[in-house]
Chain A
Amino acid sequence: MTNISNLSLLTMILFVMIPVSLSYLYSLGIGKSAIWSSLRGVIQLFLIGYILTFLFSIPDWQGIGLWVAVMLVIASLQASRRGKGIPYAFLLSLSSLILIEVFVLSLWIVFDIIPFRSEQVIPMSGMIIGNSMVAAGLAFERMKNEFQSNQGKVLAALSLGANASQASQMIIRKTIRAAMIPNVDRLKTIGLVQLPGMMTGLILGGASPIQAIRYQIVISISVFSTVSICAMIISLVTYRFFFNKNMQLQTIEGGND
């Protein structure tokens, strides 16, 4: 693999200058934030690079344990921000993500799909946790919006004798469907519109396209399943918080981020 020199990296600043100049030209007011975001992104990535180098140098179980735990906490914090007002949103996100990570990792290891090595488990777990985090956040947000916009239908269902679970079915279905549709679409066009990130990385790293595709299949299917499971867990647990013990609809305070 070709090494990108520091000088070559610096020339990338030219690319950042294009949107910055456009921002000034059209008074978009995002010049400063574009520079800051780029700078922050570069620092973050370098930092992660050094952290990963350290993690890969310590025993696998320590490296994996440490970094997966960090990823889980950060992802849960991020997902629960979208569930503002929903009780135990952080704990719920954390437990769903732990469950998903343990499930997927066990599957990979038991079926000898990848070895239990930091270099393999950490990046692949990152993809699973990252995608599930987005799904969890969207599920929280969607549940709040759906309960708000379908209040009349939920009340009608309750008035007809439905319990909280029966009255929430339409909302749960919509939430899970909304979480699955982008992934179904992504799977349909995978490789046709753009090469997926992991596959691109492996090919750039010198792996054969066929080898890269095998990894991509593993990660794409794992992401598809875990995102669906995550949205399902969040919806199936969260709907209860929209009702009190007398099966009466209650409003959840707290706007969306």
Chain B
Amino acid sequence: MKTIIEARNVKNERVDDVHFELMEGTLTTIIGPSGSGKSSLLMLLNRLEDPDEGEIYIKSKKIDQYPISELRRDIGMVFQQAHLFDGTVEDNLKFGPRLKKQWSKKMGSELLEKVQLPVDILTKDVSHLSGGEQQRVAFARTLANDPEVLLLDEVTSALDMRTVEWMEKLLHRLVDEEGKTILMITHDLKQAERLGSYTLFMNEGRLEEQGETSELFRHPNSNALKKFIEA
């Protein structure tokens, strides 16, 4: 397996000396208390923020050597809230592809199928969608760019159990069948165990521990992780 993302001693206001590698075609989870810098780390990898110190490499090339828009398309991000744009579902889905003039009606139905939403929803105004539907549309909107890496910021936190189950299956499919690499923040430790083989634990901006998920949960080294697991 090849390294797709590497962070070396990355530091900014909310992240402190973070060092890790992300392997191609894997699903890695990030856990940690609120305000521990998890979301900031994802923002750094999508270049929505830049580190004050340290370096980030994407496929062995420094992150700032890629054209920013291209990089953001290839390292897609889905936020905790859907943040849909005003207009219809189609307006949202075609936002990314249209920037590169690559949109076709067919893509819309394929994307909706992928996130298990009916095709007739395409012309619906996003304000009429339920919270779960909005989150799926946001997910499909990011998938529309066909990114190699997906950065997911607690995307299942507002979903009901059935939708969570469906989402987890989709994530597995994206990794196993499409070879995507996923880095996902979750507050649910059971979900981290179900989903990822590898987990990063962040605390107070630092990447306190990382390792095989089941091993990490069974034998936590730091007091902070022990406390976090017990909580």
Contact = CB atoms under 8 A, between A and B. Distances in A.
A161 interface: yes
B70 A153 contact: no
A53 interface: no
Interface size class of chain B, counting residues whose CB lies under 8 Å from the partner chain? 20 to 34
Contact of B83 (A155, A161, A248): A155
Interface in A138-167: 152-153, 155-163, 166
B96 A155 contact: no
Contacts of B76: 159-160
B85 A249 contact: no
Contacts of A158: 48, 72
A247 interface: yes
A170 interface: yes
Contacts of A156: 79, 83, 85, 138, 141
B77 interface: yes
Interface string B8-40: 000000000000000000000000000000000
B70 to A, nearest CB: 7
Interface in B83-118: 83-86, 95-96, 99-100
A162 B99 contact: yes
Nearest to A247: B68
B77 A161 contact: no
Contact of B69 (A153, A163, A170, A248): A163
Contacts of B85: 153, 156-157, 170
A6 interface: no
Contacts, number: 59
A146 to B, nearest CB: 12
B175 to A, nearest CB: 20
A160 to B, nearest CB: 4
A159 B95 contact: no
A246 B73 contact: no
A157 B76 CA distance: 11
Contacts of A157: 85, 95
Interface residues of A, number: 17
A161 B81 contact: no
Contacts of A160: 72-73, 76, 95-96, 99, 141-142, 145
B79 A152 contact: yes
B172 interface: no
A248 B81 contact: no
B187 interface: no
B151 to A, nearest CB: 8
Given A160-B145, A247-B69, A170 B83 contact: no
A152 B48 contact: no
- The winner among A159, A248, A249 for most chain B CB atoms within 10 A is A159
Contact of B47 (A153, A162, A166, A246): A246
A153 B81 CA distance: 10
A191 B174 CA distance: 64
B135 interface: no
Contacts of B48: 155, 158-159, 248-249
A161 B99 contact: yes
Contacts of A155: 48, 79, 83
Interface of A: 152-153, 155-163, 166, 170, 246-249
Given A160-B142, A162-B69, A162-B99, 12 more contacts: A152-B83, A155-B83, A156-B138, A157-B85, A157-B95, A159-B77, A160-B73, A161-B145, A162-B95, A247-B68, A248-B49, A249-B48
9 closest residue pairs by CB, A with B = A161-B73, A152-B83, A156-B83, A160-B96, A159-B77, A161-B69, A153-B83, A161-B72, A159-B46
26 contacts: A153-B84, A155-B79, A155-B83, A156-B79, A156-B83, A156-B85, A156-B141, A158-B48, A159-B48, A159-B72, A159-B76, A159-B77, A159-B142, A160-B76, A161-B69, A161-B70, A161-B72, A161-B73, A161-B96, A162-B99, A163-B69, A170-B85, A170-B86, A246-B50, A247-B68, A248-B50
